[in-house]
Amino acid sequence: MGTKLYIKTYGCQMNEYDSQKTVDILKQDSNIEETSNPEEADIILLNTCSIREKAEEKIYSELGRLNKLKIKNPNLKIGVGGCVATQEGAKIFKRAPYVDLIYGPQTIHKVPALLKKEHKIEAVDISFPIEEKFDSLPESDASGPSSFVAIMEGCSKYCSFCVVPYTRGDEVSRKPIQIFDEVARLIEKGVSEITFVGQNVNAYKHTLNGRTLGLSDLIEVCAGIDGVERIRYTTSHPLEMTDDLIEVYSHVPQLVSQLHLPVQSGSNDVLTRMKRNYSREHYLGIIQKLRKVRPNIKVSSDFIVGFPGETDKDFQLTMQLIDEVEFDASFSFVYSPRPGTPASQLEDPVPLEEKKERLSILQGRIDELQLMYAQELEGSIQRCLVGGLSRKNSSQLQARTECNRVVNFDFQNINILGKLVDIKIIKAHQRSLTGKLFDILEQESA
């Protein structure tokens, strides 16, 4: 019987990618079996995120629950990885002495060796050897039609509210040949949709034979690999939405008509305090250029509500921006200070209840726009990638439209898993769509 591994992932797509790669690394090093039940695990790893409010306390609470399993099974190994691990370091041992190893996002390739360390102080590695990590990644173990491919890590923007540069280091881009090789291997294993990921994914830059390659070059090359049906990328920064990247939308059909482009606020004053280094006018200019070359593109975004000093006027400017762009979806949160960031030192006179009220107004408007877009799809035929069984109804399959909407539909042939199919949208819901396979509709009408 193999060693059983339970891994719990918090946060962004980069963490999801790191978790899968950690599993691949451990399987390569030893006889590892994954389990979804922590109570039967021999190794438990928490891949943490420090972006959200009280992230550290949530991890310590989870560790407290895991300690009960450690008491039952003293041989259980517990590890803490990710951004909270980098932020807290060996301090984790003081509050949770039953933890066995601590590793950062850039040292997942060292997890097998850290698990073997007998002295805890030696089982800590929160350094930033990003290129070493990329060089050590094993072949991807694809498990569906879509897969993440990391192309860069870290962030050099140093927004005043963000802890990422301190927990993941500055921007480092992966070698193009590694990226192309990984994409080709994934396609051989049945993947047809590639999502390039990075903290600032469109900041990708790598010099090869005297020429600097960017994200637009990666997209064009990978679109030429036989079997790549769709290309996505996340998360983007407005400062890196260069004209060459926008132009790719005009001639690469595999690049989907959906973009996640965080704006955070519609107020120039707030953007300045956030150190975002662009204006609302700059952001709107990007949207205008994108819609000129790809008129049907849908745009989602991130918003921080109640940033220190945000006035009613600032908030209204954000709401005006939402109405002007008509975002398709958003991730939006009340501002919470992250330890060690410049914004945590700013005076914050806005009461929490007022921040929550603003957030409710913002999310309500986004929900209205989201439902409006969904209803516009009713009666249309959408090209969808079939991902697997529906989460809500195991007698249905689940697919995604190009604009990233979930479609649940009845099926007769399970062999369409991983395939692009035409689905007629029958009914729109707030978070999903109901559809029917187009070829079945044609048979019924014949």
Q: Where are the domains of the chain?
A: 3-129, 139-256, 266-376, 381-445
Least confident residue range of 17-31, 55-69, 137-151, 256-270:
137-151
Strand partners, 8: 46
Q: Residue 443's pLDDT band (boundaries 50, 70, 90)? A: very low
The model's pLDDT over 89-122, given as tens digits with 9 standing for 90+, comes to 999 999 999 999 999 998 999 999 999 998 888 8
Nearest of 317, 200, 328 to residue 258 by alpha carbon: 328
Pairing mode, strands 152-153 and 172-173: antiparallel
- Structure confidence at residue 275 (pLDDT): 98
3.30.43.10, 2.40.50.140, 3.40.50.620, 3.60.21.10: CATH of 381-445: 2.40.50.140
Contact 25, 112 (CB under 8 A): yes
The amino acid at residue 93 is F
Dihedral of the alpha carbons of 186, 188, 191, 196, in degrees to the nearest 10: 30
Residue type, position 429, single letter: H
- Per CATH, the homologous superfamily of domain 3-129 is Methylthiotransferase, N-terminal domain (3.40.50.12160)
**Is residue 1 very low, low, confident or very high in pLDDT (cuts 50, 70, 90)?**
low
Tell me the per-residue pLDDT of 57-94, one tens digit each, with 9 for 90 and over. 899 999 999 999 999 999 999 999 999 999 899 999 99
State the virtual CA torsion across 160, 245, 138, 419 in degrees, nearest 10. Answer: 120
Tokens, residue 61: 């609470």
CATH number of 139-256: 3.30.750.210
3-129 and 381-445: identical CATH topology: no
pTM for this entry: 0.88
User: Looking at domain 266-376, does it have CATH number 2.40.170.20?
Assistant: no
What is the per-residue pLDDT across 355-397, written as a single tens digit (0 to 9) for each? 999 999 999 999 999 999 999 999 999 999 999 999 888 899 9
pLDDT at 30 over 90: no
Cβ distance 268 to 309 under 8 Å? no
